Amino acid sequence: MFMGEYQHSVDVKGRLIIPSKFRDLLGETFVITRGLDNCIFGYPMDEWRKLEEKLKDLPMTKKDARAFARFFFSGATEVDLDKQGRMNIPSTLVTYAHLEKECVILGVSSRIEIWAKESWDKYYDESEESFNEIAENMIGFDF
């Protein structure tokens, strides 16, 4: 399970250090893609395959299902870590997530998320105010 919050910088070549605690869980090769809220999602190959199977079951007769599948899969790419524990993020994903320098890498259960620090700070500040309300609205979920 991925958990925690780490800060690293993306360099001009789009390379980002992945926290050592996440490296073993991600494996040698993993998948990154466009995530929701303008961040990048990263999945170990086994989790990616599970997600791929779920998305295959979406009804392609529905416009929203087709749009989501296109959005999600067209941004996906397999990445490897170099000897320094860095991955190379494609320029399309760098642009999508507004990654310029400082980044936040989050562990979110079965995936990682990569955020521009400014975007994460804004999202966190806005969400923190409504966290209790969000928790109350989650049906059947107890902490």
Q: State the average pLDDT for the chain.
A: 93
User: Is residue 133 domain-resident?
Assistant: yes
Helix locations, the chain, DSSP H: 20-26, 45-56, 63-74, 91-96, 117-137
The domain total for the chain is 1
User: Is residue 142 domain-resident?
Assistant: no
| Assessment of whether the complete model's pTM goes beyond 0.85 | yes
User: Is residue 143 domain-resident?
Assistant: no
What CATH number does the domain containing 86 carry? 3.40.1550.20
Instruction: Supply the range of the domain harboring residue 126.
Output: 2-137
Q: What tens digit of pLDDT does each residue of 67-91 get?
A: 999 999 999 999 999 999 999 999 9
